[in-house]
Every structure is written in structure tokens, then in C-alpha cells.
Amino acid sequence: MKSQIRKIIVIVDEVHSEQGQTVSPPTRRAAAIAVIANPFAGKFVADLSELMDVGEELGGLLGDRAVAALDVSPSQIESYGKAALVGENGELEHAAAILHPKLGKPLRVAVEKGAALVPSSKKRGGLGTPLDIPLGHKNAAFVRSHFDGMEVRVNDAPRADEILVAVAVTDSGRPLARVGGLQKHEIKGEDGLR
Amino acid sequence: MPSVELRKIVIGVEDIFHEGGPVAAIPRKRGWCLAVIRNPFAGKYEKNIKTFMDDLKPLGMEMAARLIAAFGVDPDLIDGYGKGIIVGGAGELEHAALWHAPGGYSMREHLKDSLAIVPSTKKVGGPGTRLDIPVTHKTASYVRSHFDSVEVGIDDSPRADEMLMALVMTVGPRIHSRSGGLEVSGIKERDGQK
């Protein structure tokens, strides 16, 4: 295994009601988070390919864990997102190396398909820093009901020489979504947008 | 009798592999189940609140069962626990005390050899407030290797008229436990303490 994982956290969030309205079935989101060692903490290294491989490994591992937490088949996943939080001795570019080159492909296998861009966010911060993972429909980025975000945080991470990597998936859009736009039953799911 | 109006449930489980020392053969696990419900006493002083404890029992039992299932291990391996509650701004600290009996007994009903008092904490707070829930060994409170705490919270909860109840369970001692004191192997009084 390329990644040196200190801990993995899996979180499921279900909404049963909102503003007094019952949400049935409940909307459900799951996030899987890995806290890993940053091999490049505290120094400038030009070649970031090691972290790109870490991203590939974590895309599959975290994708599978998040889908399993919702206890649905991969095809039932509706939206996804990814994010990374680099500890203070690392660079923002380390987050980019994990998230962008190779993480998406195994994540798309974990959720079956995934024609749309995986929305992402990144930042540097200390222990307990909140990380907002953006969410968008996996096959059509314009589906308005599925634009969302899931906040995660781990009180003891990232330490200065660590990186927190997170993947979020859902089997639903927002609770009580009603601002129109492209609906999920209208999508073609071919170009990633509509 | 006020009914329990559930808005959301959040379940998290973390696997801890190491904390700078040797990687454990079996990862330590810590998990939490959080439920956000309407506070039926928000915004007024209500003298008689005790009956709400009975109303909370089914919720406590469901939270404990779901948390045990989320661990995905033999339930007998779960050996630490704790509980807590955050009451939204329109409620009072006394409302938090309603969680002691239904929260504690729900876990003790599910876990074998749970002789020890369930440690707890409580406060009044707004959305995003964090709560550090104390953890002790389920059979003997003085087991030093299991003293811990788990930080929980939800970005959008509790709203002013809500309460956020929490159950926490753990599997195994602190990952690099080596501070002496009573060990699990030394439990013999069966009095919930030693």
C-alpha cells in the first residue's frame, strides 16, 4: 500500500425531516476520510507522482467504504465529491496531486459510471479544521437538486505532517429540493453536464 | 405526552491504525450515533419533564442498535462507552439530564457485561457546537487503558428548539496505551468499578 494511513473515519448523515416536513425516504450522505502521512511535509519536492499514486489508491478505498456505509449498490449512488486538507508543513499542491490526476477513475468504478466532473475543494489547516466537501450529481453536473456540500472534521487531524483526504457520496439530493433546474429523471448522462 | 420528532441521524465510525507508534494488529475503533430531535420544552419553563425519558427509550434503543451494527464487528468486542447531549439555545440544561436514563440503559441493554456507569457530559449550545464525550470501560470504570473521549458535533445542529443526543462506543484500548493502572485482565470485583 502506497498510503501510510493513520486512521479512517466513515460517517453517514440522514435527514428525516426539515422545517416540519417529513423527508421520506430520508436523504442520505456518507463521507469516508483517510488521515495519511504527507511524504513531502517540510520540504520542497518537485515530482509529486508518489502522491498521485496515493490518490489512485484512496479513490477506490474511500469510494468503496462510503458506498458500503450507505448499504446501497454502486449504481444507486447519485452524487459525489472529494476534498483534501493538508497539514501545516505541506503545500496546497500536495492536495492537488492527490485529488486530480488519478483519484477520479477508481472512484467512478466505486459508484458505477460517473460521467460528471467530481467536484472538489482543498485547503491547508490545522487539527480539527472543518472541510466542506462539495457534492454534485455523478452523471450530469447541471442537476440542481444535487448541488450540496458535506462538512467533515476530525479533531486530531491533520497533524502538521499529515493530509486528510475525503470522499463523499449520496443516494439522494437535498431534502425538500425545490429550486427547479434540470431534474434527475431528465438527464442523458453522456456528456457529464446534462 | 410529547412525541419524539426526529430530524436527522448521523453515524460515524473511525478505525485507528496507529498514532506514531507501532501499527496495531487489530485497529482500534470508535463510533458515535447522533440524533437530532425537537425539544418539546423549548422556549418555556415546564415543571414536569420526567415522562419524556420514557418517550426517548425507543430512540435510544434504535441508536444503540444502529451504532453496534455500524461497527461491523462481533458486538462483544465493544468494550467502551459514553453518552452526551447538546441542548439548543431555547432549552435548558435540565432538559439534557433527560438523556441519562434512556441513553445509558439503551447501551447497557445491548452490551454484555456492561456493569459500569456510562460516563456523560452535557451542555447548551448552538449549531456546530462540539461536545467531548467521555469514554470508560463498560465493565469497570477504573480501567485506565480505556479512558478516552470522542469529539462529536453537527454543523447545522442543534437549532434553538432542538436537542442533539449522542451515544459513543469503542473497541479496544487507546491505540498506544502504556500508562499503567488497572488493565482489562485485572477486572475482578464485578462492581462496575474495578
Q: List the single residue in B6, B10, B18 with the smallest CB-CB distance to A6.
A: B18
Contact A16 B15 (CB under 8 A): no
A127-148 exposure pattern, b = at least 16 Cβ within 10 A, e = fewer: bebebbbbbbbbbbbbbbbbbb
Name residues whose C-beta falls within 8 Å of residue A77's C-beta, 6 or more positions apart in sequence: A67, A70, A111, A112, A138, A169, A170, A171
Q: List the single residue in B10, B19, B151 with the smallest CB-CB distance to A13.
A: B10
pLDDT at B125 exceeding the cut of 90: yes
Cell numbers 491505540 label which residue? B175
pLDDT at B139 exceeding the cut of 60: yes
Q: List the single residue in A5, A16, A155 with the smallest CB-CB distance to B9.
A: A16
- Tell me the backbone φ, ψ of residue A109, rounded to 5 degrees: -65, -40
B158-171 exposure pattern, b = at least 16 Cβ within 10 A, e = fewer: bbeebbbbbbbbbb
Using a CB-CB cut-off of 8 Å, the residues of chain A touching B19 are: 6
ipTM more than 0.90?
A: no
pLDDT at B1 exceeding the cut of 70: no
Beta strands in chain A (DSSP E): 5-18, 21-37, 79-86, 120-124, 131-137, 148-152, 162-170
How far apart CA B101 and CA A92 sit, in angstroms, is 47
Contact A12 B70 (CB under 8 A): yes
Using a CB-CB cut-off of 8 Å, the residues of chain B touching A154 are: 14
Average per-residue pLDDT in chain A?
95
Contact B10 A12 (CB under 8 A): yes
The pLDDT score that the predictor gives to residue B3 is 86
C-alpha cell at A8: 479512517
User: Does residue B69 sit at the A interface (CB-CB below 8 Å)?
Assistant: no
Contact B17 A6 (CB under 8 A): yes
Tell me the mean pLDDT per 10 residues along chain A, length 194.
Answer: 93 95 97 98 95 97 98 97 97 95 97 94 95 95 94 96 98 93 91 91
How far apart CA A21 and CA A175 sit, in angstroms, is 10
Contact A177, A145 (CB under 8 A): yes
Q: List the single residue in A8, A10, A15 with the smallest CB-CB distance to B8.
A: A15
User: Across the strands, what pairs with B178?
Assistant: none
How far apart CA B41 and CA B97 sit, in angstroms, is 13
Average pLDDT over residues B129-155: 96
Using a CB-CB cut-off of 8 Å, the residues of chain A touching B9 are: 12-14, 16, 26
Name residues whose C-beta falls within 8 Å of residue B72's C-beta, 6 or more positions apart in sequence: B13
How far apart CA B103 and CA B59 sit, in angstroms, is 9
Among candidates B148, B13, B30, B157, which has minimal Cα distance to B85? B157
- Chain B nearest-CA distance from A173, in A, is 15
Q: How far is CA A23 from CA A11, A103, B127, in A?
A: 20, 33, 20
pTM assigned to the model = 0.89
- 3 state SS of A184: helix
pLDDT at B2 exceeding the cut of 80: no
Contact B15 A8 (CB under 8 A): yes
Q: How confident is the model over A143-173, as pLDDT tens digits?
A: 999 999 999 999 999 999 999 999 999 999 9
How far apart CA A175 and CA A189 sit, in angstroms, is 22
Secondary structure element (H or E) that encloses residue B105, with its range: helix B100-110
Which residues on chain A place their C-beta less than 8 Å from a C-beta of chain B? 5-18, 26, 69, 128, 130, 151, 154-155
Using a CB-CB cut-off of 8 Å, the residues of chain B touching A16 are: 6-9
How far apart CA A39 and CA A51 sit, in angstroms, is 8
- Chain B nearest-CA distance from A189, in A, is 31
